[in-house]
Amino acid sequence: MSEQESDADARIGSRLQETDGHEELRDGHRNGDGEHGERARATGETLVEIDDLTKIYDPDGAHVTAVENLDLDIGDNEFVTVLGPSGCGKSTLMECIAGYLEPTDGEVLVNGDPVTGPDPSRGVVFQSNRLFPWKTIGQNARFGPQMRNAVDDDRIRELLDETGLSGFEDSYPHELSGGMQQRAELVRLLANDPDIMLMDEPFSGLDAMTKELMQEMLLDIWEEEDRTVLFITHDVAEAIFLADRVVVMTARPGQIKDVIDVDIDRPRDSSVLTSEAFNEYQERASELIHDEAERAMEQKQQETQEG
Amino acid sequence: MSTRERVLGVDRRRLLGREVPLPPRGVRRATSVVGFFVFWWAAVEYSFLDFGLFVGPIETLLAIYGYLLGDPVAGGDQSLYVHAVYSTYRVVAGVSIAALLAIPLGLLIGTSTRAGAGIEWNNYLSPAVESLRPIPPVAWVPASILLFPVVPVVGFPVNTAVLFVVFIGAFFPILVNTIEGVRDLDDEFRRAAQSLGAGDRQIFRHVIFPAALPSILTGVSLGIGLGWITVVAAEIVAGNYGLGYITFQAYRLLQTDIIAVGMVVIGALGYASSAVVQRIADRATPWSDIETT
């Protein structure tokens, strides 16, 4: 185990030196991992390329730099979590990839094409549940395909079944528990078959038990189908448990502080959470994020005083 | 549970330290109504203020019975039904026209308020809306009578002045609630729809309109309520038909039973129409508990 660990550490070290050595990161990451079982099904090809991204908000001349000169590549079928203190610009990063925001500088490429707006190939799950309250679970699940007149009832039934939601097609979201709503939103996303799932702290509103179950379910779904996930969180354990790679962000202006390769066998379940390797990753990530969280807090305090 | 047991901070089940059993639901509900009738009866009977000039509840009920059989009212030759139909039609027509104009206008203003939404209609329309809105609808009555004539429509005289006053009373609550309904929608719903592949029209149809619908229906419900207020006020001043007309005509002729009957019927129809709107709203928006008062 320790051998693998040091191996991983060595790779992270080389990554740190090579801030813009994307090529190397990908190759080093994917090769020679055979002994870890079917850990990553990533093809080694880049799906999302974030190039020198800067986003400045300028409401009433306030001039807030949310993200500054950020470079990040996300491989095809990779599961990447972005870990950062609150207000560090991680949501901004996601919104730029989703196409809701236009970068102030730099660009986001998906499959080599610049992002110009939202697209069904880039599905989004928000922090608050955004099922349409005026549509039933079934109608919500069908929404994406319905927009293209391509509803596949079998697939939707299958998805609802897998997530334990069959029988609730005719219920309205408010009639369901928080966990069920979150599952239904996942179904709505998957029914649309996106290449990349952008998830912005989707489980942060759930209780600890439900959260753990949702994480496992998400991993199950991800293992089954070819999909790339960018998952944003401020929860260190969640970030490590889910990810192939954890991208740790700095306080504002958001930049990448470090990238942690998570070398834990897949498929994973909650037993991983108590393993030694997991603890080591967690310690490492906590250390990295601690100072940033402090800085973010100071920033917040300062703003409150000024405002 | 708690609201029933605790009223104004007093535990109703424990009065003077003793357990007091709650009376049956039906009795609790009837108490206030019976109390009102008792007060009315006593006030007339014992000439409280000028109540001695007025009709009592029992005579009113008898009078209603007679008029429900079709007796002509208030010195005219029309039955209560004819007048009730006139008032109802004016409310329904005035509120409908208001809804047909205010809802699209509200959707337009509401959707164009966001940054980068094309023409900001809001900027063009809001000043007029904001300056006309504070005028109480009843204050429009005199001007309306001067501006809007009675025109025959398929043989029936249509008093457009009364219609206009009802219209203007219902227009603003519907407009304002529609605008608010659209504006209150969190932008993430729009974004979610976009990321699921919805275009602008689909977003309007599947997201913006249904999201605003409960608020729109609240506006319509408020509009109906204001419709009854304004129709009575307008009929008192203008026109030869309607419940407002007969109520005021009865005052002139000192037929106090008809004054009371008119008030009761107006109240009953107002109550019935808001119940109908509530029913429609519940059907149309099963996901939401909208308040319609």
- Lowest mean pLDDT across A14-23, A121-130, A262-271, B19-28: A14-23
The number of residues in chain B equals 293
Q: Which H/E stretch holds residue A66?
A: strand A64-75
**A172/B286 touch (CB, cutoff 8 Å), yes or no:** yes
What per-residue confidence (pLDDT) applies to B120?
73
Contacts of B213 in chain A (CB under 8 A): 134
Mean pLDDT lowest for which of A51-65, A84-98, A235-249, B100-114? Answer: A51-65
Torsion of CA B98, B103, B108, B110, to 10 degrees: 110
pTM: 0.82
Residues paired with residue A49 on neighbouring β-strands, in sequence order: A73, A109
Q: Is the pLDDT of residue A63 over 70?
A: yes
Q: What is the pLDDT of residues A164-214, one digit of tens each?
A: 999 999 999 999 999 999 999 999 999 999 999 999 999 998 999 999 999
Q: In this structure, what are the phi and psi dihedrals at residue B158, rounded to the nearest 5 degrees?
A: -105, 120
- Rounded CA Rg of chain A: 19
Residue A220 phi, psi (nearest 5):
-55, -50
Closest CA to B80 of B272, B276, B236, B241: B241
Q: Say what the pLDDT of residue A17 is.
A: 41
Q: Which residues in chain A are closer than 8 Å to B199, comparing Cβ atoms?
A: 147
**Band (A37; pLDDT cuts 50, 70, 90):** very low
Task: Pick the closest to residue B216 from B176, B185, B274, B165 (CA basis).
Answer: B176
Kindly report whether the peptide bond that precedes residue B21 is cis, defined as omega within 30 degrees of 0.
no
State pLDDT tens for residues A239-255. Answer: 999 999 999 999 888 89
Which helix (H) or strand (E) element contains residue B116?
Answer: none
Distance CA B178, CA B130 (A): 15
CA distance A144 to A135: 13
> So what's the ipTM on this one?
0.82
pLDDT computed for residue B19 by the predictor: 66
B192/A130 touch (CB, cutoff 8 Å), yes or no: yes
Higher pLDDT, A1 or A264: A264
Tens-place pLDDT, residues B83-104: 999 999 999 999 999 999 999 9
Contacts with A303 (C-beta within 8 Å, 6 or more apart), sequence order: none
Mean pLDDT of chain A: 85
The CA-atom distances, in angstroms, between A84 and each of A105, A112, A148, A244, B247 are 21, 27, 36, 16, 71
Q: Enter the tokens of residue B175.
A: 């407009």
Angle at B95 between CA B91 and CA B99, to 5 degrees: 170
Contact B109, B172 (CB under 8 A): no
Chain B nearest CA to A119, separation (Å): 5
Best residue in A134, A142, A146 for a mutation probing chain B (most B CBs within 10 Å): A134
Nearest Cα to A87, choosing from A252, A292, A294?
Answer: A252
pLDDT at A277: 93
SS3 A78: coil
Q: What is the 3-state secondary structure (H, E, C) of B167-195?
A: HHHHHHHHHHHHHHHHHCCCHHHHHHHHH
Return the beta strands (E) in chain B as ranges: 6-7, 10-11, 14-15, 18-19, 150-153, 156-159
- Ordered domains of chain A (ranges, CATH): 2-121+194-306 (3.40.50.300)
The pair phi, psi for residue B268, each rounded to 5°, is -65, -45
Please determine, for residue A118, whether its predicted confidence score (pLDDT) is greater than 80: yes
Is B210 an interface residue toward A (CB < 8 Å)? yes
pLDDT score for A143: 96
- A139 HSE (CA, 13 A, CB side): 14
Going by pLDDT thresholds of 50, 70 and 90, the confidence category of residue A6 is very low
Name chain B contacts of A124, Cβ cutoff 8 Å: 191-192, 195
Distances (CA, A) of B101 to B81, B96, B278: 30, 9, 21
Nearest-Cα distance to chain A for B197, in Å, is: 5
B 97-116 → A contacts, CB under 8 A: none
B198 contacts chain A (CB < 8 A) = yes
Cross-chain Cβ contact A134/B193 below 8 Å: no
State residue A166's pLDDT score: 92
Domains along chain B with CATH numbers: 1-54 (no CATH), 80-284 (1.10.3720.10)
d(CA B161, CA B236): 12
Lowest mean pLDDT among A62-76, A135-149, B61-75, B274-288: B61-75
- Per-10-residue mean pLDDT of chain B, 293 residues long, equals 52 61 82 92 92 90 87 80 94 97 93 68 80 92 93 87 96 95 93 95 95 94 95 90 93 91 93 92 82 38
